[in-house]
Structure 1
Amino acid sequence: MTRLARSVPRMTTDLRTRPARTTLVTRALLLRFVSIVGSSIGFYLPLSVVPLFAAQAGSDGGAGTVALLLATVACELVTPRLIAVLGYRWALALGLFLLGAPALVLTVASSTWVIIAVSVVRGAGFAVSVVAGGALTAMLIPAERRGEGLALVGIVGGVPGMLALPAGVWAAAHWGYEPVFVVTAAATLLAMLSLPGLPSRTPVAATGDHHGVLAGLRNGLVMRPAVVFAASAGAAGVLVTFLPLATGPVWVVAAALLAQPAASTAARWVAGRLGDRFGPGRLLSYGLVLSAVGMAAIAVTGSAAAVVGGALVFGAGFGVLQNATQALMYARVPAGGAGAVSAIWNAAYDLGMAAGALGAGLAVASVGTPAAFVLTAVAMLPGLAVVRRDRRP
């Protein structure tokens, strides 16, 4: 009885003195969500529409997409310098404007060179918006809840993008191309109304060369997670490019392409919670193994269950790696290095997808699509050695 009586006030004291959990969703982060949704719609809504628009106009259907991706990667690596000069708010405003406004040009012109020029400008705008926005978002999220915050941001941007991609094709088929391009411009330009409530300037350290992209590229603590993520992004590029060519029934392809991003979104949230508790570095090997197993299962192209199940497992692994690598990279640089991390991570994403699609294209021509999926799974396994090395003191 005495022990019980003594334990009660002690427990009460512990509860009273326990520090309150840091607020995750602040007013500034809610305002940032507006520009995240705007840039996601602005990028994905016309992504599959522009090739159809170009083909109907007698232009090269793939030229615009290639130009968009190349411009995105090129500008991602120089955006931190732009942030240092303009600050977060103006850089993000410039990115949103360049991403959305040029789409209006396609309502009055449809030549190949116009489509390419518009795609280049939009790619530059997307690069600036995701890098500047990513660095700003990292600053708005408490460090002790970084994984959970990044997962929430991934959901806020991922769901509109997942819906906008098929919605753009559907709208173009029913209402024509012009409404798609007008909505693209409107979504991004209206999102700019949220920017005055966001922080304007970067931390002073961001202007130093020792926190820039080149320094980040020389930093093994930053680059090892980036390399691991690039390997999984390469597999994602293989999946979205060659899965439609590998299986017969359309419903199987549609189900797999829906299962993959849905699983990624859910896994990012789970990984964020676990990463904040146990450390994001511990999740990398699990993400790689899940990604490789899922891709190997997809190689059984004659089985609908294997294809859809494999896409689900791959999506889970990819989502884990999306969250864990990004959180780990941000944790390894001071506040002034957030812009460089955002640039490197996004470049790893885009370059990985492009390299995966290109490499698999060469493999498909030689050994066929199922074998290319198997080779893609095997190609991710050396990432485990990178993870193991990264854990060494």
Structure 2
Amino acid sequence: MTDLDVEADRREAAPKRQMIFLLAASLGALTGFYLLVPVVPLYTATGGSGDTGAGLSTGVMMAATVLMELAVPAVLSRCGYRMGMALGLLLLGVPSALLAVSPALPLVLAACAARGAGLGIVVVAGPALVAELVPGRRRGHALGVYGVAVGIPAVVALPLGLWLSAHVGYGFVFTAGAVVSLGTLAAAAGLPSARGPAEQHRGVLGGLRTGGLRRPTVIFAAVTLVAGILLTFLPLAVPADARSTAALALLAQAAAMPLARWFAGRYGDGRDPGRLLVPAVLAAALGGAGLVRPDNPWLLVASAAVFGAGFGAAQNVTLTLMFQRTSRSRFGQVSALWNLAYDGGMGVGAVGFGLVAGPVGYPAGFLLAAAVLFIALVPAWTDRRRTQ
């Protein structure tokens, strides 16, 4: 083997190693994040701040996430992926440990704001780096694998955090979240140190001026809107003696999502991933429509699984299409825009449904939510026609 062959093998192996480090860093970051998601509101409420404090803890965290997502492309341009991901892990880990000091509301809200900012960095930097490390012909599959890595913590860590808080205590959960996030800094050290492309600092929302980016963003925001409704209100919509059915339905949704995200990526590579856009939205719409009967346990679980499959496929397809339609210099902008659609859609869905469900009831509210997805089939079909 010549020196040139050795050098070629080294250049080919480097992105593979960096991809493994990215998956490990993202898995650790999201595990540390999800462990605390259901625990912090309980800790805040029982610590003397009541329901208001519990709601503020989540609201402040998600607001900080969205605001940071707008700034991440500029952060990556200045600091690079290694330092950017390390900063995200520090913001997720250190405040987690501080939460054990006191449930006082100012301290909790400050910690939640910092954790939200850390989450914003991690979820934007991850997909952007995947798009840079992996050639376009294999990008869909790589994004699917990344989707599985960031989907597993939602399935495992959410219920685990609640169980640990009840059996071991809040302090143990906060310490575990800090250890997982900060322990993953070793993986972040293996990421490329180069800065993101200079053009990444351009305004994130400027991507909406282009139809090729605007349509997938709007379509995905419609799907995440219904996801926010399902995650927030499904346990409240079922009869009081059927909460275990709601838990099973949410588990089915969470399990179907990363599998569908992986399948969509594997299918899309070598083909046109846009072919899956309409089926993904249709599956999500049909699953959402099935939620109008929360008193039927079998229909509820099946509908949640179908919605999860549509949601997962939509995640991969929309992100892959957006990366395909832009240059490498704008990968950070695209990732930030996609994540804004994710978090913003879930937030708007939860708040909007809360205002609607009171006057019309849960079944009618779920029907209206499904109608949003059936309407979203129009831009999905339009996008497919314009790219043929």
* CA positional deviation for 1:134: 2.3
> 1:195, 1:364 → 2: CA distance?
43
State how far apart, in whole Å, the 1-side matches of 2:173 and 2:201 are.
42
**Given the superposition, is the C-alpha separation of residues 178 and 82 from structure 1 closer, same or farther in structure 2, using an over 3 Å criterion?**
same
Instruction: Describe the superposition over 1:174-195 as per-residue Cα deviations: whole angstroms up to 9, x where unpaired.
Output: 1111111111111111111112
Aligned to 1:297: 290
Contact 1:106/1:181 (<8 A) preserved: yes
State whether structure 2 residue 256 is matched by structure 1 residue 259. no
2:217 paired residue among 212, 216, 226: 226
Q: Which amino acid aligns with 1:312?
A: A
Out of 378, 381, 392, the position equivalent to 2:386 is: 392
Rounded Cα–Cα distance in structure 2 between residues aligned with 1:76 and 1:107? 27
* 1:95 paired residue among 81, 88, 93: 88
Q: What is the deviation of 1:246?
A: 1.1
Aligned length: 370
- Deviation of residue 25 (structure 1)? 8.2
Indicate the residue corresponding to 2:7 in structure 1. Answer: none
Shift of 1:273: 1.6
Alpha-carbon distance in structure 1 between the residues aligned to 2:253 and 2:221: 17
Residue 69 of structure 1 corresponds to 62
Q: Distance in 1 between matches of 2:176 and 2:62?
A: 21
The CA distance in 1 between the partners of 2:180 and 2:118, in whole Å, is 14
Structure 1: distance between partners of 2:235 and 2:188: 39
Whole-angstrom CA distance in 2 between matches of 1:339 and 1:165? 28
Q: Contact conserved, 1:24 with 1:142, CA < 8 A, in 2?
A: no
Q: Which amino acid aligns with 1:253?
A: A
Give the C-alpha shift of residue 217 in structure 1. Answer: 2.7
User: Equivalences for 1:349-364 in 2 at 5 Å?
Assistant: 349-364=342-357
- Name the CA distance, whole Å, in 2 between partners of 1:80 and 1:184: 26
Aligned to 2:42: 52
Aligned partner of 2:315: which letter? Q
Alpha-carbon offset, residue 208 of structure 1 = 6.4
Q: CA 1:153/1:207 → structure 2, altered by over 3 Å: closer, same or farther?
A: closer
How far has the Cα of 1:302 moved from its partner? 1.8
Cα deviations by residue, 1:20-45 (Å, 9 ceiling, x for unpaired): xx999811111111101111112100
Higher helix share: 2
Q: Which runs of 5+ in 2 are unaligned?
A: 1-11
Amino acid in the other structure paired with 1:319: G
Does residue 344 in structure 1 map to residue 334 in structure 2? no
Q: For residues 118-129 of structure 1, what are the structure 2 equivalents within 5 Å? A: 118-129=111-122
- Alignment deviations for residues 331-387 of structure 1 (CA, whole Å, 9 cap, x no partner): 111111111111011110000001111111111111100111010000112212212
- Counterparts of residues 1-393 of structure 1 (less than 5 Å): 26-59=16-49, 60-207=53-200, 209=202, 212-248=203-239, 249-390=242-383, 391-392=385-386
Deviations 1:280-302 (A, max 9, x none): 21111111111111111111122
The more displaced of 200-209 and 100-109 is: 200-209
Root-mean-square deviation over aligned CA pairs? 1.6
| Shift, 1:96, TM fit | 0.8
Q: Which has the larger radius of gyration?
A: 1
How far has the Cα of 1:214 moved from its partner? Answer: 3.9
Q: Secondary structure at the match of 1:26?
A: helix
In structure 2, do the counterparts of structure 1 residues 97 and 203 end up closer, same or farther at CA, with 3 Å as the change threshold? Answer: closer
Distance 2:105 2:253 in 1: 33
Post-superposition Cα deviations, 1:202-249, rounded to whole Å, max 9, x if no partner, equal: 35453564xx52431322211210110110000001101111111121
TM-score by length of 2: 0.92
Quick one: which amino acid aligns to residue 220 of structure 1? G
Ranges in structure 1 where 5+ consecutive residues have no aligned partner:
1-21
Deviates more, 1:196-205 or 1:348-357: 196-205
How far apart are residue 160 of structure 1 and its match? 2.4
**Retained in 2: the 8 A contact 1:138–1:338?**
yes
Percent sequence identity is: 44
**Please, which moves more after superposition, 196-205 or 294-303?**
196-205
